[in-house]
Amino acid sequence: MLRYGLLIVFSFGLLIPQSVQSADNKNKPGAWTEVPTDDADYPLQGEYLGSVVNDCRQCESVGLQVVAMGDAKFSAVSYRGGLPGYGWPIGGDRAKYQGTREGAVLTLTGEHQQITIENGHAIIRSVGEYARQVGSASFVTRQSATLGACRPCNAIALFDGTNTDLLKDGQMTEDGLLKEGTETRDAYGDFRLHLEFRLPYMPKAVGQARANSGIYVQSRYEVQVLDSFGLDGEFNECGSLYREVKPNLNMCLPPLSWQTYDIWFRAPRFDADGKKVQNANFTVWLNGVPVQENLDLPTPTGGGKRVGEGPNALPTKIQNHSNPVRFRNIWLVHYGVAGTSHNQQIASTEASNALAGLLQKIGYSKN
C-alpha cells in the first residue's frame, strides 16, 4: 500500500512581528504583505499541535488552526489526530470555536471545550460543571516539502526573481517578488508547473475577498489561490479547480507563509474533426500534499468557460483579483503540444516519479 507523507519543518514558539506594513499596502487598507508590527491579533493566528485526553482517558494528538478575523475576533478549528496533512485523517473529527482577545490572551469557546492561548501556548479545558484541563498545544510553523524546489535541467525558468522576460506585463516588487496579474508570453500544452506564493494578511476580509488570485492553466482552468486557512476546503477555496472540484483536503497554511503549488497538466485531446475525445487531466499538490489526483476535468472553470476548450494551447495566467499576492520560483517542464499519447505517458510518469521520490525522501515505502 502506498502511503502519502509530508516533509515538515516545525518551529515551536510564538511568531513575533518583525517588519512593517509594506508600501504596496498603502492603497489597500487591511492587507499586509509583510509581518505587521501594529496588529496584536497576528501573533496568535496560526497552527498549534499538542495532545488531549479523550473521553476514554486515552492521550491522543490534536491540531488547532486559529484564524484572526480583525478587531480582536477569532475563529478556530481543532482536528482530532493532528493537523491536515499531518495526522488528521481526511474526513476525521473536527470542532469549531469562536473567541476574542483581551490583551495578549485569546479565549476560544466551542461546544465541548474552551481554549486559552497566550505566548504561543494553548491550554484546552472541558466545559460544564466539572470543567478541567484536558490538554495543551504549542505554536508550530509548517513548511511545504516542495518549498524551494530546484528546477530540473529541462525546465523553463518562468520567474527566478531577476526579470520578467518570459511573462507579459509582469511586474516585480523591490525585493524581487512577482506581483499578481501576468501571463506567460508563450503557450504550453502538457506541462508540470511549480510556483511559490505568499498570501497577504487580510484579517477583516472574508470569502473571495480574502487574498484572492488564481493560476489559470491555459487561460481555461483555474487552480484557486485564496486565503482558505482554517476553512472547510470547498469548491471555491484554495486547492480547488474553481467552482468545479473541491480539494481532497484543505492544505492552506496561514497567510504570509510561503506556500507551494505543483501542478501536472495534460491538455484535452481532439480528433481531426475537432471533437474532444479526452478531457483535461490534473494532479495538484498544495504544500507538498496531493489535493487533486489524476482528475479528469470535463469543462473549463469560472472565467475560462468564456474562452472554451480547443486543441490550441493558450498562455497560463496569474490572476489579478486586486489583492497583493506575491510569487517566486516559478518554473515549468513542457512536455509538448497536446495531441499524442506519448505526451500523456510522460506527464503521468513524471507525476508518479515525483511522488515516489518524495515518499522515499521521508522514509515511506510500499508495503
What is residue 163's three-state secondary structure? coil
Residue 210: per-residue pLDDT = 97
Residue 348: per-residue pLDDT = 53
Residue 7: per-residue pLDDT = 54
Rounded to whole angstroms, the Cα distance separating 279 from 310 reads 11
Residue 23: per-residue pLDDT = 41
Rounded to whole angstroms, the Cα distance separating 171 from 73 reads 35
Rounded to whole angstroms, the Cα distance separating 211 from 234 reads 16
Strand 46-53 and strand 59-70: the pairing is: antiparallel
Its pTM stands at 0.88
Residue 55: per-residue pLDDT = 86
Q: Which CATH class is domain 156-361?
A: mainly beta
Tens-level pLDDT at each residue, the chain (367 residues): 333 445 555 544 444 333 434 444 444 448 999 999 999 999 999 999 999 999 899 999 999 999 999 999 999 999 999 999 999 999 999 999 999 999 999 999 999 999 999 999 999 999 988 899 999 999 999 999 999 999 999 999 999 999 999 999 999 999 999 999 999 999 999 999 999 999 999 999 999 999 999 999 999 999 999 999 999 999 999 999 999 999 999 999 999 999 999 999 999 999 999 999 999 999 999 999 999 999 999 999 999 999 999 999 999 999 999 999 999 999 999 998 754 444 445 545 555 665 555 545 444 444 4
Backbone angles phi, psi at 341, to 5 degrees: -70, -25
Residue 197: per-residue pLDDT = 98
Q: Which CATH number applies to 40-140?
A: 2.40.128.120
What is residue 162's three-state secondary structure? coil
Integer CA distances (angstroms), 98 to 72, 112, 184, in order? 11, 12, 42
Rounded to whole angstroms, the Cα distance separating 252 from 215 reads 15
Domain ranges of the chain: 40-140, 156-361
